[in-house]
Amino acid sequence: MRITALAGGVGGARFLRGLLHGMATGLVPEADVTVIGNTGDDIWVHGLRVCPDLDTVMYTLGGGISEERGWGREAETFTAKDELAAYGVEPAWFGLGDRDIATHLVRTQSLNSGYALSDVTAALCARWQPGVTLLPMSDQRAETHVIVDDPSGACDDLGNPMQIAIHFQEWWIRWRASIPAHGFTVIGMEDARPAPGVLEAIESADLILFPPSNPIVSIGTILQVSGVREAIIRTAAPVIGVSPIIGGRPVHGMADACLQAVGIDTTAEAVARNYGSDLLDGWLVDTSDSDVVSKVESLGIQCVAVPLLMSDLDATAAMAARAIDLANLTRA
């Protein structure tokens, strides 16, 4: 069986770890898994190319992730970051870990030598052996920016706050998504093409999964890459999503801030509606949201309420098993 998953950072990576655990324990049938990773979060920092969502998937599945943070390396130190701050070098707000720097050095040198991001990602994965084929959504640079009121308080001559675009990482890390976002724009998306293997992974899949990643800035960004949404709509394979919202709250990260920015309610139903029945065949919601099952089904998306808290590997594997059950149901 071939499974293709679109994934962002922490939530998506942890779900995929559960999926692989389910395969290892027989709870889930064996499958070749391809992950299409979001690269909209990527950023140049101190001359290094950082790919947060690709690295989070690679480290989480490869056993190098910091469980405490959900990103970056375990047993990490931040000596270089402190030294940079001592020089007054910006951005001081970006947490560049000493071990993590090795990944960015290898990536940056390879990119500067002319290798494509997809080649570099494959080379990095040769070390980490994540157990999946990890593809960037695109080899072209496409970086999510957030439209915010200028944090300096600058206003136009009518007294309205000036709006500026800041890099997603600055909004996410420096401001903790606390300054209201008026929207997102992925700079470079117009020239971004699916990376080699991306469309093939969608077209050859027996099952397509949307893990509980951020539906706007992670999976939503991947869907903006030309041809990706159309390929998913065209495929005969079931497309099953897992709600990242439980009981009106995001499980990881600050998806609520992203949903509010684009005028989508922070509910399991609203996220399913936003994806739409042209994309989704099935949608898993948490048992605490079982009241939305009929509303989601009225959208033409089959819906099941199951425990969605990824409290441990077995619980997450059980979620993956229910996603596969739902896929079989939608095939019927």
Residue 215 found at the interface with ligand FO1 (CB under 6 A): no
Judged by beta carbon, residue 71 or residue 184, the one nearer ligand FO1 is 71
| The only residue of 22, 37, 52, 212 in contact with ligand FO1, by rule CB under 6 A | 52
Judged by beta carbon, residue 216 or residue 308, the one nearer ligand FO1 is 216
Residue at 277: amino acid letter: S
| The only residue of 7, 57, 65, 71 in contact with ligand FO1, by rule CB under 6 A | 71
Residue 53 found at the interface with ligand FO1 (CB under 6 A): yes
Residue 76 found at the interface with ligand FO1 (CB under 6 A): no
| The only residue of 55, 139, 143, 170 in contact with ligand FO1, by rule CB under 6 A | 55
Q: Considering only 94-102, 121-129, 178-186, 190-198, which stretch makes contact with ligand FO1 by CB under 6 A?
A: 94-102
Query: If we measure between CA atoms, which residue out of 294, 284, 268, 289 comes closest to residue 323?
Result: 284
Query: If we measure between CA atoms, which residue out of 266, 69, 90 comes closest to residue 167?
Result: 90
Instruction: Tell whether omega for the bond before 91 is within 30 degrees of 0, i.e. cis.
Output: yes
Give the neighbor-by-neighbor strand order of the sheet with 239-242: 133-136, 32-37, 2-7, 207-210, 239-242, 282-286, 302-306
How are beta strands 32-37 and 2-7 bridged, if at all? parallel
Query: If we measure between CA atoms, which residue out of 202, 278, 282, 194 comes closest to residue 233?
Result: 278
Q: Considering only 83-91, 169-177, 243-251, 278-286, which stretch makes contact with ligand FO1 by CB under 6 A?
A: 169-177
Q: State the nearest-atom distance from the C-beta of 210 to ligand FO1, in Å.
A: 15
Q: Considering only 153-161, 166-174, 185-193, 259-267, which stretch makes contact with ligand FO1 by CB under 6 A?
A: 166-174
Judged by beta carbon, residue 61 or residue 326, the one nearer ligand FO1 is 61
Q: Which residues contact 40 (CB under 8 A, 6 or more apart)?
A: 137, 142, 143, 144, 168, 186, 217, 218, 221, 222
Q: State the nearest-atom distance from the C-beta of 75 to ligand FO1, in Å.
A: 15
Element housing 136 (H / E)? strand 133-136
| The only residue of 5, 8, 195, 305 in contact with ligand FO1, by rule CB under 6 A | 8
Element housing 53 (H / E)? helix 52-62
| The only residue of 100, 269, 281, 286 in contact with ligand FO1, by rule CB under 6 A | 100
Tokens of 83: 């030294």
| The only residue of 13, 50, 137, 257 in contact with ligand FO1, by rule CB under 6 A | 50
- Contact positions toward ligand FO1, by CB under 6 A? 8-9, 41, 50, 52-53, 55-56, 71-72, 94-95, 100, 169, 172-173, 253
